[in-house]
Chain A
Amino acid sequence: MTPSDLEFHVLLALGDGPSHGYAIGKDVADQSGGRLDPTTGALYQALRRLTEEGLIAPAGAPDEVDSRRKYFALTRQGRRVAAKEAERLSALVRAARQRRLYSERG
């Protein structure tokens, strides 16, 4: 499958290890420079779809935190899909650069 923009950012956010809804939301906002700032509903919709697709899985939570929190972690397949998506994007960037539509300095 091809992840959506938001889903890809979620995969990226989980690249550093398991995390939970609020923190993932913050990471996504930071990574995207504020372009994406998913609402609670939108984020969990994405988390649910990624779980159904087997790209992420529920993970154990550290003991001391709010028991309502749910932690998620990347699965091996999730890593693969994220890598593939990154490759696809970087291929696009290469193509754009060759056609002088984009330069590193922006």
Chain B
Amino acid sequence: MRIYRWLLRFFLPALSRQYGAAMEEMFERRLADAQRAGRIRSVDFWRRELTDLFTLAVSRRRRVDDGRDERSPARRLLNGTGLEFRHAIRRLAGTPSFTVAAVLTQALAIAANVSIFALVHRVVLNPLPYPESSRLIDLDHGSIDLKMPSDLGLTSGLYFHYLHHVRTLESAAIYQVRTVTVTGDGDPERIRVTQTTPSLGRVLRAAPALGRWFTDRDAAPGGPPLVVLSHGFWVQRYGGAPGVIGRSIRVSGVTGEIVGVMPASFAFPDSKVDGWIVDTAREADGFGTWDYNGVARLQDGASLEDARAELNALIADAARAYPNDPRAAGNVQTRLIFTGRTLQEATVGAVRRPLWILLASVGVVMLVACANVANLFLVRLDGRQRELAVRRALGAGRLAIVRTFLTESTLLSTAGGAAGIVLAVIALRLLVAYAPATLPRVDEIRLDGVIAGFTALLTFISALVFGTLPLWHATDVAASLQETGRSNTVTRRRHRVRHMLLGAQVAMAVVLLVASALMVRTVQNLRAVNPGFDPSSVLAFSVGLPDRDYPSVDTIVAAHRTIADDLSNLPGVKGVSVSSCLPLAGGCNGNTLLVEGRMYPPGTTPPLALFRAVAGRYFETMGMRVLRGRGITDDDVARRTPVAVVDEMLADNFFPQEDPIGHRVASNLPPDRPGEAPVLTWFTIVGVVGSTPLRTLSDPRRLPQLYLPMSHGRGPGGAGPAQIGPGISTMSYVVRTTTSPLEMIPSVRRTVAAFDRNLALSQPRPLQRDLDRASAQTSFTMSLLAIAAGVALVLGVIGTYGVMAYIVRQRTGEIGIRLALGGQPADVARQIVRQGGLAAAAGILAGLATAFAGSRLIESLLYGVSPRDPRVFATMAIGLLVVALAACWIPARRAARLNPVNILRS
């Protein structure tokens, strides 16, 4: 909409002044009509509206009656140097194939650059949408001894400790993203909420659109749960009714109240959050666990380094701040470090490199396109040598001649830029529609002034470069005038320029082809990774049991077992099981692990392992291989047998030389009170299963995993330190089906509702989707890079062909003479192919060298393939050489087939 307003003002300022608002209103309604009619209709609608604006601006039909200059800026530009532009238009219209080729090539390159630049600018460069967002930082920690350099997050106790002493932070908040079930006002629904301290509003300086944000008093324990809705959820569940403020809402079985609605632009920490609830963590709870994320606003004038220094100093005191909680000392002892980054870095750091690489690659496409257009201009320049020579002989200055070309190139680039931005609008919509879920800030992507400026800059630069080409290309007046019209040899120097253009294009195409081939190999390798489980025909979802209705471990275990049994009786279900954490869902729950009989000297930390609480038959249902011993059975769950199954990695790391089965392990829990001996629960290892990935398939930071019967998990509250294992109120279900997993959703939903109508399924999806999502980001980068490489290849081949065809045409006379004097057609063809081939080969070598030198830039995106993989380099080089030779061979063959008699006569 805003784009339309700008373009209207630019192309038709008079009309816009008079009717702008009315036109926007009409445009909006027509756009809405077109959108209702489908995607193709709306694309067509945009194309028609925008081209009409352009043609109306340029058309001469309108009369200027009053004295004022009513011509549009676009029109004034055209008439700016009066005659010059009119002549240029006429000349360009006289050579339509040149004009169309030049405009289209530039439009394609500009569209690619503008759309990827828009992505980089809006996602990576643009400040986060909070006031003074450069002062926002992410409060993250790492531990040297646990070999976790970052990503630990924050504990509530550490947060309160910081709050009391910190000087470099103006405000701070902790939060965790959870899913909760809301009931009342319609069906029960699982929603994603950010549970946060009220201070989050101060840190982000966020104001609600309706109602209010939380106050510090709302965090007092025992109060009803208060909810602030996201704009999206407010519209979806409440139809955007302003009366929702004060309405009651049941959150996980407890009746609370809706107090506010945030504006659509507010999404923290990401746009998939449906609302915010108050976190009631208290200092009296002690040091706490690493369940939280933290965000803070730096004091005005303080830097991130200041905060880093101060907080790292404060960590050392944390043990003294909680003298009654041995966990504080235990944690500090693992050499905790504060690893804060700016919030922007924490949000977009992971996608920065791939996006910049994409921008660089479309930049290369731009260069290839420029080389192509430059060649077109050179061809045109040659055709006009005589005309220019005459003009100079008649007294035209060099500048006057340059102006002629500058006028043409300005027209062409402007048209290319205008068409380019229209294409970019379409491309951006496609990019947003197909962006992977892991790409942050997708909802912020749109065209803005900076992007319009970038387009103008690209257009301006290309106009300048092509317009001044003839300057580099000194015109020899006398020679041109003396020529009798047949040039046999004078063009040799110009051919050298052309060969260089050809080589440069090929070189750039090689770089992109190598990069995209490496990405293709990476995606292939990721697809080939054995995830350690069989995701096909498995429906996954989670069910959360509200604390009030299911207050103890026994009731929770019984509920999950009953639901699982009911589900396994459904037709089409082969097996059902339950886990506290599925593969690729992240770390979930972990602690350091003790092995019976091994001593850890004071001051050292045992290694970390991840804990999963599972129901019986979990490994069978997931299709995970039991390598040794046995899996966990329903009987283990029912009797709370103290057994554990470890994964291959745990077996290798903890028991490198021996059989882990029969050993006993325990979660390294601190004592209840300082000085006492800790109460440990020892689990006997009864089996070893294959490892499964934690977050991504290529994650180098894997951790050992341990599976326990779910009856050893933690119930609501879970405060007692003797409680071990992961929380089991919310569990992930896996249902192996004989049909398509999606078809099972309705009957699964009915079964769960029949057990307890206040329960809702959260995120029902085929398990395969988790696996696809794990490589989605890489596939996305690969696809865009492959498109860029494809465009560069096509443009490069067209360019090679164009250069060779032109050289052959220029040399027709010489070739005719050689053929007439007895030269063999095959020799002629071979010579032409050799010249082009040499230029292409030089280009390929230069490209390979560039790709080799730049290989470190792309290294972090690759998996299972070296950035200097000789096979990839060789394949691309040979493939491109073949294509380039073919592009040279076609004009060469035509030259060889010439009839010398015809040539010499003409």
Contact = CB atoms under 8 A, between A and B. Distances in A.
A63 interface: no
Given A20-B22, A48-B19, A41 B30 contact: no
B8 interface: yes
B21 interface: yes
Nearest to A71: B22
A68 interface: yes
A54 to B, nearest CB: 12
Interface in A15-65: 20-22, 25, 39-45, 47-49, 52
Interface string B1-40: 0000000100110010011011111110110000000000
A66 B29 CA distance: 12
Nearest to A72: B22
Interface in A52-101: 52, 66, 68-70
Contacts of B52: 39-42
Contact of B25 (A22, A41, A52): A22
B53 interface: yes
B65 interface: yes
Interface of B: 8, 11-12, 15, 18-19, 21-27, 29-30, 48-49, 52-53, 56, 62, 65
A52 B56 CA distance: 17
A90 B27 CA distance: 34
A41 B22 contact: no
A13 to B, nearest CB: 13
B56 A48 contact: no
24 contacts: A21-B25, A22-B25, A25-B26, A25-B30, A39-B48, A39-B49, A39-B52, A40-B26, A40-B49, A40-B52, A41-B15, A41-B52, A42-B52, A44-B19, A44-B26, A45-B56, A47-B19, A48-B15, A48-B18, A49-B62, A68-B24, A68-B25, A69-B22, A70-B21
Contact of A68 (B22, B53, B56): B22
Given A39-B48, A39-B52, A44 B23 contact: yes
A41 B52 CA distance: 7
B11, B18, B22: most-surrounded residue (chain A CB, <10 A): B22
Given A22-B29, A41-B49, A52-B65, 17 more contacts: A21-B22, A21-B25, A22-B26, A22-B30, A25-B26, A39-B48, A39-B53, A40-B26, A40-B30, A41-B8, A41-B23, A41-B56, A42-B52, A44-B19, A45-B15, A45-B62, A68-B21
A23 to B, nearest CB: 9
A41 B12 contact: yes
Interface of A: 20-22, 25, 39-45, 47-49, 52, 66, 68-70
Contact of A21 (B23, B48, B53, B56): B23
B21, B26, B52, B53: most-surrounded residue (chain A CB, <10 A): B26
A43 B12 CA distance: 13
Majority SS at the chain A contact face: helix
Contacts of A41: 8, 11-12, 15, 23, 49, 52-53, 56
Contacts of B27: 40
B30 A42 contact: no
Contact of B22 (A39, A45, A49, A70): A70
Contacts of A70: 19, 21-22
A47 to B, nearest CB: 7
A43 B26 contact: yes
A10 to B, nearest CB: 13
8 smallest beta-carbon distances between A and B, as pairs: A21-B26, A68-B21, A70-B22, A39-B52, A68-B25, A22-B26, A41-B52, A40-B27
Nearest to B22: A70
A66 B25 contact: yes
Contacts of B53: 39, 41
Contacts, number: 60
Nearest to A66: B25
Nearest to B54: A41
Given A22-B29, A45-B15, A48-B15, A40 B23 contact: yes
A47 B21 CA distance: 15
A14 to B, nearest CB: 15
Contacts of A49: 62
Given A41-B49, A44-B19, A69 B56 contact: no
Nearest to B12: A41
Nearest to A65: B25
A42 B19 contact: no
B24 A44 contact: no
A44 B15 contact: yes
Contacts of B22: 20-21, 44, 68-70
A57 to B, nearest CB: 14
Nearest to A52: B65
A47 B15 CA distance: 10
B56 A42 contact: yes
Contacts of B8: 41
B269 to A, nearest CB: 38
A55 to B, nearest CB: 15
A49 B18 CA distance: 12
A42 B8 CA distance: 12
A98 to B, nearest CB: 34
A5 to B, nearest CB: 13
A40 B21 CA distance: 12
Contacts of A20: 22, 26
A25, A41, A52: most-surrounded residue (chain B CB, <10 A): A41
B686 to A, nearest CB: 73
B73 to A, nearest CB: 16
A47 B22 CA distance: 12
A39 B19 CA distance: 14
B159 to A, nearest CB: 50
A52 B64 CA distance: 11
Nearest to B18: A48
A17 to B, nearest CB: 18
A58 to B, nearest CB: 10
A39 B53 CA distance: 9
Nearest to B45: A39
Contacts of B25: 21-22, 66, 68-69
Contacts of B19: 21, 44, 47-48, 70
Contacts of A22: 25-26, 29-30
A51 B343 CA distance: 56
A104 to B, nearest CB: 34
Contacts of B24: 68
Nearest to B57: A41
A66 B19 CA distance: 14
B12 to A, nearest CB: 7
Contacts of B23: 21, 40-41, 44
A50 to B, nearest CB: 12
Contacts of B65: 52
A41 to B, nearest CB: 5
A44 B49 CA distance: 12
A25 B18 CA distance: 18
Contacts of B18: 48
Contacts of A52: 65
A41 B12 CA distance: 9
A48 B12 CA distance: 12
A21 B29 CA distance: 10
B18, B19, B62: most-surrounded residue (chain A CB, <10 A): B19
Nearest to B20: A68
A25 B65 CA distance: 26
A66 B56 CA distance: 27
A25 B25 CA distance: 13
B346 to A, nearest CB: 43
A83 B31 CA distance: 34
Contacts of B29: 22
Contacts of A48: 15, 18-19
Contacts of B56: 41-42, 45
B618 to A, nearest CB: 60
A45 B23 CA distance: 11
A56 B244 CA distance: 48
Nearest to A4: B61
A25 B48 CA distance: 14
